[in-house]
Amino acid sequence: MGLGFGRIVLRAALIAVTISVPLVTSSAPRTKVLAPHEPIAPRVPKDKELPLPSAKLGSVVGGPWMVDANFKSAIYIKNVVEVYPVTVTPILYLSNGARYALPELKIEPAGTAVVDVNAALDSLGLASYATLSGYMELQYNFPWHPICAFIRNVDTVHSMIFLQSVQVLPTELLEGASSQPATKQQALEGMWWKQEPNVAGFVTLSNTSARPIAASVETSDSAGKTFAVHDVTVSAHGTKIIQMTELPAASQNEGGVRVTYAGPHDALIANGGLQDPSAGYSANMRFLASQGSPKVSPLSEVELGLMTGIADPMMSFPAGTKFTPYSLLRNTSSQPATVTPTLWWMQAGSAQSFQLPGITLQPYRTQRLDVPAMLAAAGLKNFNGSFNINFDIQGVYGAILQAAGSVDQTNTYVFEVNARGIGVSGSRSMPYWSTGNGDDTMVTIWNPADEAQDFILKLFFTGGQYGLPVHLGARATQTLNISEIIQNQVPDAEGNIVPASVHNGSLVITGSLAENQLILFAADLGIYNVRKAICGAPTCVTCNGVTSTAVAANPFTVPVSGQTQLNFTLTWNTGSQYNYTNSSNWSSNNTGIATVQTGLTHGVSVGSATVSAQVTSSVPEYVQSICSESGSPVCPQGNNGASSPGCVGVCITSISPAQGLVGVDTTVKITGMNFASGATIQAGPSITVKNISVNSSTQITATLTPQNSSDSGGSWNLSVTSGGQTSNSSTFFVQIPTSLKVISVSLIANGATGGCASTDYGIRIAVNYQVMDQTPSAISSSSMVPQEFVNGVGPGNIVPNTNADGTYVDMPIGTCAQKVFTISETQAVQIAISSNAYSVRTNNFTITGTSAGHGSITNGSDISKTR
């Protein structure tokens, strides 16, 4: 079982399919599809590359992994970065949420690593022959998500295989995340079908969050009517397997599965399987996240390499093995969708097609297509070979869930096919191929354009890479057998071969000119093993593309009437950088200061300006793992842009800190350009400037002292004069203590310092305040003295000074007595700075003592406490 593939090709090229029926080609008119012909941005030479962005913690998660006496589980990890190694920490979570971090793996550039889960469990002292399951997390520190991975659970005794892809763990679910993930109602939609009556099913739910999640699994018939419900609670980081015991007795042969839960987005991983161990039948059940904001737009998806008729003898299946294709669709949205299938196959080296009538899929309806009848309609009733079904879908984007493949007459050989979105992209990677231990790998590539395209199939393996040119005519399909490529030992354009000793690796399909060349293709890959009767491959592929953008130099500097060349660089996930300077629109936010044309920046007058670049046509975006279940099965493209601040002549780009307290010295760092010894600073009549020190041409330090008066408050323009030139102005904000913000109010315990005795009536509290400025923002300074007038008497110091962060605690506040009382006290607070004071707050307290040990205090707004 597993992923579908086409017919093996002997020695090469295009498949020549034997067709034993009269050929019927499509007659329906269709729009001509052109291949992309965009200019290709040049690669940045190694010595001119920009430093990578900062590394950050990231994770992908996937599940389940499953082991028992028969099931073996392995995690396959590909480093999608082709020029840097990446270090990954695999973490296994058991079904009860127990966490086991495995030793770090260092994966070479473009390399692949395999984690044997059974062996890992044994090394942890856990019996891998016991029935265990859970999910896995792969952690790394890298500027972007550098890996693609999948889990392969195989029971060779019963010829069953289940493959699980991974998804990026949302930032708020990462270990040590500071923000609490938002909880919302979530829904995941799946599909079940029975290949034969004994097929049973299961759904696995893995909770990647730190809190339990209550979930509901509803099984529905083909019309979307629910006939079974399973309610479960999945513990934090736990995994639950729900047996769909209702399936064998179900009167229908296909339907839907919906998983609902309240929790963070993507916190629950849902997967499932359909199986009949007695027949060696197994198939994967995929789940699609319900579309939050449905967008209706057309989408084309293709099921590649479906097999029909007698198996190709080259594939070494038992004599008489005959395949029947299947295809099911489920509309997971609340709106109807129209799906128009077109069959594509090869004859005598050219592509043939037949368009079938459109199908309307009502909301939540599941429909099995009668593929043999579709073939018969196309005149392919007795066809032996492989073909594709292209679906033009009009409905909610990405809402059609598909399941397809080919099954032999014993239901043992199941070759699943993943629907692939059709769209323009850059290169795309697939995480694994294998030719060892009886495995072989088939790669099917389809050119959906009405003109020829040239590609390179690049095989990565330990110690090298190999590029195979692939020319595909208009709408042509080609299936490549990796074992044959290796056996051929034909050197590629760079003289490389794949050594015969190599049995696994990963691959990428690129345009023939460069990885950032835009191309239009669909591809699928299948790893099969006839002896073990298993077939499978990762469902998801990597869309290679842009991970970060930069305009350099950043910041830039240019003299008045001078010019400097800026470059716009895009960094790909593979680690390569491309120069899009000539393929971008450039602009300046202040053409009175600087103008720009194709990156060439001219200084017009003194000051600062920001120069921006944006690509003129869309470029591929990096998506680590994309598949039809992701809801957006087509590699995305974006109009990337970046900008760089800079200076013309003497200029200021920043002041830090950009604010200071009235009446107090603030040492500031002025960053900018073209500062020279003897520079002076102008800050206006209310700010005294002293201790000016020109540290470098880009940095000055100075002490600013605003006059101690409320008139000094607010924003003041500051400029630097150096070498006879005066810079642009930058703002320095003078803070005036204006209000107090209550941070906390706490009761002083009986008998504690400042508190009442346990037998006293009344209450004593402590109030933690933050001094705020006029914006209001916190003032961080210990130069402030909180003072008070109590019932008009004062001022008296509340505490000697504020803390360095501008907070202070006013305690005790309140009254203790030996009798019942109610009193009112007015506390007017001011903040003194040197010889001046600024009113910040008035508290009109009402304090009561109601009985021994009891009392209350309130100011009627933000301070209230009861004892």
Q: What radius of gyration, in Å, describes the C-alpha atoms of the chain? A: 35
Q: Which residues of 173-191 are buried (b: 16+ CB within 10 A; e: fewer)?
A: bbeeeeeebeeeebbbbbb
CA angle, corner 525, sides to 519 and 526, nearest 5? 170
Q: Which residues of 456-482 are buried (b: 16+ CB within 10 A; e: fewer)?
A: bbbbbbeeebbbbebebbbbbbbbbbb
- Spatial separation of the C-alpha atoms in residues 840 and 834, rounded to whole Å: 16
Judged by CB, which is closer to other proteins: 636, or 754? 754
At its nearest, how many Å lie between other proteins and the CB of residue 787?
A: 6
Instruction: Give the pairing of strands 730-735 and 659-661.
Output: parallel
Judged by CB, which is closer to other proteins: 42, or 754? 754
In the sheet with 641-648, reading across from the earlier edge strand, the strands are 556-558, 641-648, 607-615, 584-588
Nearest to 428 by CA among 574, 520, 544: 544
Residue 663: other Cβ atoms inside 10 A: 21
At its nearest, how many Å lie between other proteins and the CB of residue 821?
A: 6
At its nearest, how many Å lie between other proteins and the CB of residue 788?
A: 8
At its nearest, how many Å lie between other proteins and the CB of residue 769?
A: 15
Judged by CB, which is closer to other proteins: 674, or 787? 787
At its nearest, how many Å lie between other proteins and the CB of residue 765?
A: 9
At its nearest, how many Å lie between other proteins and the CB of residue 752?
A: 11
Amino acid at residue number 665: D
Q: Provide CB contacts within 8 A for 233, sequence distance 6+.
A: 212, 213, 214, 215
At its nearest, how many Å lie between other proteins and the CB of residue 818?
A: 5
Judged by CB, which is closer to other proteins: 134, or 849? 849
| Chain positions contacting other proteins, by CB under 8 A | 753-754, 764, 785, 787-788, 790, 793-797, 811-819, 821, 823, 825, 827, 832-835, 837
First to last CA, the chain: 70
- Spatial separation of the C-alpha atoms in residues 689 and 385, rounded to whole Å: 85
Judged by CB, which is closer to other proteins: 263, or 814? 814
Q: What is the DSSP letter of 3?
A: B
Question: Around 571, how many Cα atoms within 13 Å sit in the side-chain half-sphere?
Answer: 22
Amino acid at residue number 786: P
- The string of DSSP letters for 406-426 reads EEETTS--EEEE-EEE--EES
Q: Provide CB contacts within 8 A for 373, sequence distance 6+.
A: none
At its nearest, how many Å lie between other proteins and the CB of residue 859?
A: 14
Judged by CB, which is closer to other proteins: 343, or 748? 748
Question: Rounded to the nearest 5°, which phi and psi values hold at 575?
Answer: 100, -15
Question: Rounded to the nearest 5°, which phi and psi values hold at 334?
Answer: -90, 10
Amino acid at residue number 184: K
Residue whose structure tokens are 């760089």: 644
Judged by CB, which is closer to other proteins: 412, or 827? 827
590, two tokens: 């202040």
Judged by CB, which is closer to other proteins: 306, or 664? 664
At its nearest, how many Å lie between other proteins and the CB of residue 816?
A: 5
At its nearest, how many Å lie between other proteins and the CB of residue 734?
A: 19
Q: What distances in angstroms separate CA 628 from CA 299, 546, 580, 657, one per listed residue?
A: 11, 21, 31, 50
Judged by CB, which is closer to other proteins: 100, or 821? 821
At its nearest, how many Å lie between other proteins and the CB of residue 812?
A: 4
Judged by CB, which is closer to other proteins: 230, or 764? 764
At its nearest, how many Å lie between other proteins and the CB of residue 796?
A: 6
At its nearest, how many Å lie between other proteins and the CB of residue 863?
A: 13
- The string of DSSP letters for 226-250 reads EEEEEEEEEPTT-EEEEEETTTTT-
Judged by CB, which is closer to other proteins: 69, or 757? 757
255, two tokens: 């339907």
- Spatial separation of the C-alpha atoms in residues 750 and 759, rounded to whole Å: 9
Judged by CB, which is closer to other proteins: 776, or 794? 794
Dihedral through CA 556, CA 560, CA 565, CA 571, nearest 10?
20
Judged by CB, which is closer to other proteins: 183, or 826? 826
